[in-house]
Amino acid sequence: MLADWLNFPNSSEKNYKLKNIEVKPRQVIKRDKSPLFHFSFFEKLFIMKNNMPRNTTSSVFFYTYVLESLKDFDRYIGYTNNLKRRIEEHKKGLSFATKFRLPFKLIYFEGCLNQEDAKRREDYLKTTQGRRFLGLRLLEYKRQNKKAFGSGS
């Protein structure tokens, strides 16, 4: 029962007090005539929202991203918690790894809820298998941005 799952003191109590708001369950009669206490949809949402761990409702994302140099067409793979700020740092030449290959273009990014997941994804994309994944993932990008080599007659 929902009340038991949320660790309410006694599921047979008529009223529950949550953060100075009183929630009264409605009594529902089942076929076997045993009373069950039932909450409305909005009451359930309110109860679940206030009893869920806070880390599940976090709005912080960690991004794994791929930049492509417009100078030598090499790629840079990294991760950050603020994608917009990090790209601006790359464009201003504040990153030692990329300042000699400016300008850059963001060609791919992924969002993760956990920093360790983003770091693990960055490490994977830097492997041979990860670069193959990016090659397959960005097929249309590669087709649209192909440079013609020796296309003379």
Say if 27 falls within a structural domain. Answer: yes
Token pair for 3: 């009340």
Say if 153 falls within a structural domain. Answer: no
Same domain, 46 and 71: no
Same domain, 140 and 66: yes
Q: What is the CATH number of the domain that holds 70?
A: 3.40.1440
pLDDT tens digits for range 98-139? 989 999 999 999 999 999 999 999 999 999 999 999 999 999
Residues 108, 122 contacting (CB under 8 angstroms): no
d(CA 28, CA 30): 6
Same domain, 68 and 46: no
pLDDT tens digits for range 2-19? 444 445 455 444 455 555
Same domain, 48 and 66: no
Tally of domains within the chain: 2
Same domain, 42 and 74: no
Same domain, 23 and 82: no
d(CA 137, CA 131): 10
Structure letter (DSSP) for residue 146: P
Same domain, 48 and 77: no
pTM of the model: 0.58
* Cβ count near 149 (within 10 Å): 5
Say if 149 falls within a structural domain. Answer: no
Say if 70 falls within a structural domain. Answer: yes
Q: Name beta bridge partners: 142.
A: none
What is the average per-residue pLDDT within 67-83? Answer: 94
| Sequence-separated (6 or more) residues with CB below 8 Å from residue 97 | 76
**Percent of the chain at pLDDT exceeding 90:** 50
**Whose structure tokens read 């949809």?**
41
Range of the domain at 43: 2-52
Same domain, 126 and 92: yes
Q: Which amino acid is at 12?
A: S
**Percent of the chain at pLDDT exceeding 70:** 57
Say if 152 falls within a structural domain. Answer: no
Same domain, 47 and 70: no
Mean pLDDT of the chain: 76
Same domain, 110 and 85: yes
Same domain, 42 and 80: no
The distance from CA 14 to its chain's CA centroid, rounded to whole angstroms, is: 39
